[in-house]
Amino acid sequence: MPSGTYSPDPRIAALGGAPFYDPATPARFPSTVTRYRNKRWSEAVGLGDLSDEDWIRHFALFDPLSDNLETPLALRYHGDQFRTYNPDLGDGRGFVYAQMRDGAGRLLDLGSKGSGRTLYSRTADGRLTLKGGVREILATEMLEALGVYTSKTISVIETGEHLIRHDEPSPTRSCVLVRLGHSHIRFGSFQRLAFEGDAGAIGRLADYCIREFDSDLDGLGPGEKMRFWFERIVARTARLTAQWMAAGFVHGVLNTDNMNINGESFDYGPWRFLAHMDFSFTAAYFDHSGLYAYGRQPEAAMWNLSRFGGTLAAHVEEAALNTALQRFPALFETAMVEAFFARLGVAPSGGGDFDFIVSLLQWMETTQIPFERFFFDWFGGAASGMRAEQSPSAALYRDEGFAPLREKLSAFAPVRPERLAHPYFSGAPCAMLIGEVEAIWAPIAERDDWSLFEKKLRQIGRMREAFDFDASRWVKSPYTDDHP
């Protein structure tokens, strides 16, 4: 049974079904073996005390949680995929099946991936490979540790099927994944309604989002509250994009159906982390033009916002939407300062901080220093000078090309310097490069050996504790002080 901290609140049911979602029927699997259970986040939403049997019931068989949605809901949406509009989308292998409040009062969804076919599966089988589930655990755990506002992988259960995939050795093992997310409403959710010419439904969906996630705007007039809401989404998206950049993260498929209205990173596919600074690095093997390369992620985010903003045109004046959108570059610059200085564990100086970041990234690109190595060596700024001197990259730090950056670093005050005493900083940086991901998967695939996977999660956990980023700071935008 859920614990006393379980706070069910299935608000999405108030939307009433079409044109927003359709009921879905979970698949029935040959077998179920729990491979991953997120202790921290299941406890945070009152589900940590579920027995092993009940965990399978609610996270693989999808029996309804108490006082929650009675039927899983496959959400409807469209999307621009590599800037080509696709009207044949929707939840094709997943659904939202519960909503609840966490201790901060946020409304969170439980959403599945690999739970079977829906009305939107087209010719696909509605399944997820076990390797895909393992990759999503690693991505979300790593991003959370690095201070990125991300969905949480709360469960992965192996399901005993053999899947055929063109991008994996096949047949390959299957699983069903459940994520805990701060809404599954996507930019593409609004695009579908605009495509159908349903301005009334756009208004109802926006009202739902504002009421549940930005309730301080709810008392305003329809056009005014939607305008302020769009401004907040622009700001949140700018912050998320800056977080990706500071984490050295390349999402890979920044389509409009993969971006949500609360600025939370979710729905992971062919992601990568940078080994070295490379603005042209792409994660997806099929991204031949480099559209979603590391250095083009801000451009992609702003383009997606323009597409989302266009769906609100029946409710908000075009000039107001354009004004909000044009704030993105400045908001992104501000967010870059906050995100990169958080990664360095120092406080911005208030002058020339963005220029410092630009110079730093240029130096990192020129020297090809390992991305995570630099932020590990210099976390805390000058207070970590001795650690940097003992680094494998110490010769780069002694080079005259680094001298201006070192001088700047010496001027920044460390934030919560007590963090530097954490044992993590006496070891080596925790990275998540594709070679290690494959090395973690290989023993699982070959002999069902999960030891490297479990070891990596422990390493990420130590890094998360050491950095101690307060991810909740990303939930609300600080760029809305002028709003009611």
Helices assigned H by DSSP within 65-112 = none
Q: Where are the beta strands (DSSP E) in 27-129?
A: 33-37, 73-75, 79-81, 84-86, 96-101, 107-113, 128-129
Peptide linkage before 19 cis (omega within 30 of 0): yes
- Are the beta carbons of 429 and 376 closer than 8 angstroms? yes
Q: 76: which DSSP letter?
A: P
Q: Where are the beta strands (DSSP E) in 48-151?
A: 73-75, 79-81, 84-86, 96-101, 107-113, 128-129
Q: How far apart, in whole angstroms, are the C-alpha atoms of residue 144 and residue 252? A: 18
Please state whether 341 falls in left (phi above 0), alpha (psi between -120 and 50) or beta: alpha
- Beta bridge partners of residue 432, listed in sequence order: none
Instruction: Please identify which of the residues 257, 267, 353, 377 carries the catalytic annotation.
Output: 257
Angle at 227 between CA 152 and CA 224, to 5 degrees: 125
In DSSP notation, 397-452 reads: HHSGGGHHHHHHHHHSPBSSGGGGGSGGGGS------HHHHHHHHHHHHHH---HH
3-state secondary structure of 142: helix
Annotation marks residue 22 as catalytic:
no
Give the residue carrying structure tokens 């393992």.
134
- The residues annotated with a catalytic role in the active site are 257
